Amino acid sequence: MLTTTKKILAAADRGGYAVGAFNTNNLEITKAIIEAAVEAKSPVIIQTSEGAIGYAGLGYLTAIIREAARAPVPVAMHLDHGKDPKTIRAAIRSGYTSVMVDASSLPFGKNVTETKKVVGWAHAKGISVEAEIGAISGVEDLVSVSEREAFFTDPEEAAEFVRLTGCDSLAISVGTAHGAFKSKIKPKLDIGRLAEIDRLVKIPLVLHGASGIPQGLVRRLDRECERLGDCGRLAGAVGIPDTEIRKAIRNGIRKINVDSDLRIAFTVGLRDTILDERSSFDPRRLMRRSGEEIRKTVSAKMLLFGSSGRA
Binding residues (CB under 6 A) for ligand 13P: these are 23, 80-81, 178-179, 208-211, 257-261
| Residue number with CB closer to ligand 13P (106 or 228) | 106
**Residue in 29, 32, 46, 52 binding ligand G3H, rule: CB under 6 A:** 52
Smallest separation, CB 47 to ligand G3H (Å): 9
78 binds Zn ion per the rule CB under 5 A: no
- Positive or negative, the Cα torsion across 273, 277, 279, 284? negative
CB 32 within 8 A of CB 294: yes
The gap between the terminal CA atoms of the chain, to the nearest Å, is 10
Segment contacting ligand G3H (CB under 6 A): 48-56, 118-126, 149-157, 244-252? 48-56
- Decide if residue 81 touches ligand G3H (CB under 6 A): yes
45 phi and psi angles, rounded to 5 deg: -115, 120
What count of Cα atoms within 13 Å lies in the side-chain half-sphere of residue 222? 11
Residue 78 in contact with ligand G3H, rule: CB under 6 A: no
| Sign of the alpha-carbon torsion through 240, 242, 243, 248 | positive
Per-residue b/e over 81-97, b at no fewer than 16 CB within 10 Å?
Answer: bbeeeebbebbbebebb
> Which residue type sits at 47?
Q
* Residues in 249-278 that interact with ligand G3H by CB under 6 A: 259
Report 177-236 residues binding ligand G3H (CB under 6 A). 178
Residue (51 or 232) nearer to ligand 13P, CB: 51
CB of 194 to ligand 13P, least distance (A): 16
Annotation marks residue 276 as catalytic: no
Interacting residues toward ligand G3H by CB under 6 A: 23, 49, 51-52, 81, 178, 259
